Structure 1
Amino acid sequence: MESSSYIISPALDGDEAVIFVPGLGGRTKFVDGWNEPGLEPVIHRANWSEPMNVPSIEERGAALSSLVARSGVTDVVLVGHSMGALVCLEAGKHLERRLRGTVVMCQYPPHRTPLSPLAELPDRALAEEIEAPPHILNTTALSEYARLWRSEYRLLNRYLEADPRPLLDAPLIAVGATDDASSWNADSLNDWSQYTTEWLSVQMIAGGHQVVEQLPPETLREWVGKLRG
């Protein structure tokens, strides 16, 4: 039995699913706001079961795809934010025909993403750089959070240096934010075309790296509908 994996909430039920995978820090509470009464499809959120256990991006992708396969879902759209977009890329290569499409938000494709220097910052400077919530900035546990963040950035850097890259057989929507250093350049986002045999659509929205937390549910469902055709 796997010691850690993703926990999907609400639980997967039926043939189709839309799953949101967060980036560093794992914030997903805002996903509840996407599931207002009467809105379909339901957006499921993926949380890592052991937040202080930091496996590789490849391992996380494999774990997520295994969970989807065991659930019986045969039509899945993955939505990944920041590093979560890379997890979706890795999960997608295992899901094969189960994958209907992927939305990657605030993340350049691996070969266009520079190695991150953030792992070398002091605790508070690192927390401020990634826009950590105020209650984390002022807690005595900040050093433990910072240790986790550094571990994830080191994993990210190792992943960015890896080769070969996954190639998905499903369409991609790459979403950039105009004030986000990780996704403001539409030309760089266009290079996601190298990771799919299907079509790519680049969408630009106003905001910074955490714009996903203010994303209107109608906008996300529009993208999901476009992927499903």
Structure 2
Amino acid sequence: MADSQWLRTFHQATAAKTELVCFPPAGGAASVYHALSAELMPSVRVLALQLPGRQDRLGDPMIDDITQLATAAATAIGSRNGTPVALFGHSMGATVAFETARALEGAGAELGHLLVSGRIAPHQTLDTAIHEGSDEALISELERLANDPASVQILREMPEIAEMVLPAVRNDYKAVETYRFEGDTPCLSCPVTVLVSSDDPTVTLDEVKEWERYTTGEFSVEVFPGGHFYLDEHTGAVAKVVSSRIC
């Protein structure tokens, strides 16, 4: 069901007392959170951000700026009322969720929690320019991060699928690689939980601890086994952590 241009739901959870807005990783769509939504039923209603340029928004112009994405997300979330809201973002989605939290709190909203996963803290910048590279380089990056690199092979074997997938990946990598945090810290009052996996090639445990400087609220770190996309293999365990923080 489409709640708005930007938000999607997969399960009604009509009796839910809390809403969790989820932000997809680079190249991802709202549907990456379908399994997490099912795990959090019926106590939490999950809404997933649908970025332009993918799935049912394939024809919409993509946005390659984190702040612009966060502004649009904050507007969509702010138009809702009556139910406490928490935010969850993985990888690029963590940064968008963070900037959305800043925008919401700046507008006077009270957030229940911010959960960020698999992502360096906002002041930690990337010195890569993968978005400027070849399609081959993009595919190699996806293979590096995938739980099963063979699953990405279809992008090499079927160019027509690569033509559909890679533009969103390139767009989002540009958003991530050109993002720079601006402002003072702490800049949030809501509790923040960081989720990280033990073998994530994009971020270390020491790096994610840097998220603590961004909030005056409670801060905690949860470590899971696996690689960058550990969430796909440990959805139930992640759901338990999320539920313990926001319910």
**Given the two structures, how large is their TM-score scaled by the length of structure 2?**
0.78
SS class of match (2:69) = helix
Residue 164 of structure 1 and its aligned partner are, at CA, apart by 2.0
Whether contact under 8 Å (1:171, 1:198) holds in the other structure is: yes
Deviations 1:191-228 (A, max 9, x none): 10111111210111111111122223353243342245
Change (3 A) 1:25 1:73: farther
Gap regions ≥5 residues in structure 1:
none
Residue 25 of structure 1 and its aligned partner are, at CA, apart by 1.1
Whether contact under 8 Å (2:64, 2:174) holds in the other structure is: no
- Quick check: 10-19 or 88-97, which moved more? 10-19
Q: Partner residue of 2:141?
A: 129
Q: Partner residue of 1:93?
A: 102
Residue 153 of structure 1 and its aligned partner are, at CA, apart by 1.9
- Quick check: 135-144 or 72-81, which moved more? 135-144
Q: Distance in 2 between matches of 1:36 and 1:148?
A: 27
Change (3 A) 1:49 1:112: closer
Q: Partner residue of 1:44?
A: 47
Whether contact under 8 Å (1:5, 1:50) holds in the other structure is: no
Whether contact under 8 Å (1:20, 1:79) holds in the other structure is: yes
Q: Distance in 2 between matches of 1:199 and 1:164?
A: 20
Indicate yes or no: 2:91 matched with 1:72. Answer: no
RMSD: 2.7
Superposed, 1:137-148 pairs within 5 Å as 137-141=156-160, 142-143=162-163, 145-148=165-168
**Given the two structures, how large is their TM-score scaled by the length of structure 1?**
0.83
Superposed, 1:139-218 pairs within 5 Å as 139-141=158-160, 142-143=162-163, 145-160=165-180, 162-164=181-183, 167-183=187-203, 185-218=204-237
- Quick check: 49-58 or 140-149, which moved more? 140-149
Q: Partner residue of 1:21?
A: 23
2:67 partner amino acid: E
Indicate yes or no: 2:117 matched with 1:115. Answer: no
2:230 partner amino acid: V
Q: Distance in 2 between matches of 1:125 and 1:82?
A: 19
Residue 143 of structure 1 and its aligned partner are, at CA, apart by 4.5
Quick one: percent identity of the two aligned structures?
A: 22
Residue 5 of structure 1 and its aligned partner are, at CA, apart by 5.1
SS class of match (2:20) = strand
Q: Distance in 2 between matches of 1:21 and 1:6?
A: 11
- Quick check: 167-176 or 212-221, which moved more? 212-221
Residue 26 of structure 1 and its aligned partner are, at CA, apart by 1.2
Q: Partner residue of 1:7?
A: 7
SS class of match (1:64) = helix
Residue 36 of structure 1 and its aligned partner are, at CA, apart by 4.8
